[in-house]
Amino acid sequence: MLDSEIENHYHFATMKMKTLADLAPTEKGCIQSITGADGLSQRLSELGFTPGQPVQVVRFAPLGDPMQIRIRGFSLALRRAEARRVVLDSTG
């Protein structure tokens, strides 16, 4: 059992998914999915964070958190921890 846990950890470590939190200001991406199955994931979906939707980082607050996001023609602020839930397509 320990071997499979180590193998799973290795695969997750090498398969780093690009998230919204990884983008720099003015960078754009396309949403692939929202991770998690809690209220935050549901709320992000309700705000328009749906698969295939383009999203752009506008800027970061002076200390780096929160970040301003542009999606569906409006802007909103997200903490980086929340933005890590938004997985982007690897094709960008």
Quick: pLDDT tens for 11-24: 444 457 899 999 99
Q: Is residue 35 part of a domain?
A: yes
76 φ, ψ (degrees, to nearest 5)? -150, 160
Quick: pLDDT tens for 21-40: 999 999 999 999 999 888 99
Question: How many structural domains comprise the chain?
Answer: 1
Rounded CA separation 63/92 (Å):
26
Rounded CA separation 60/73 (Å):
18
Q: Is residue 43 part of a domain?
A: yes
Closest CA to 48 of 73, 68, 27, 29: 73
Domain that holds residue 75: 18-88
34 φ, ψ (degrees, to nearest 5)? -115, 130
Q: Is residue 11 part of a domain?
A: no
Rounded CA separation 50/25 (Å):
21
pTM: 0.76
Q: Is residue 39 part of a domain?
A: yes
Query: Residue type for 56, please?
Result: Q
Q: Is residue 13 part of a domain?
A: no
Q: Is residue 12 part of a domain?
A: no
Q: Is residue 25 part of a domain?
A: yes
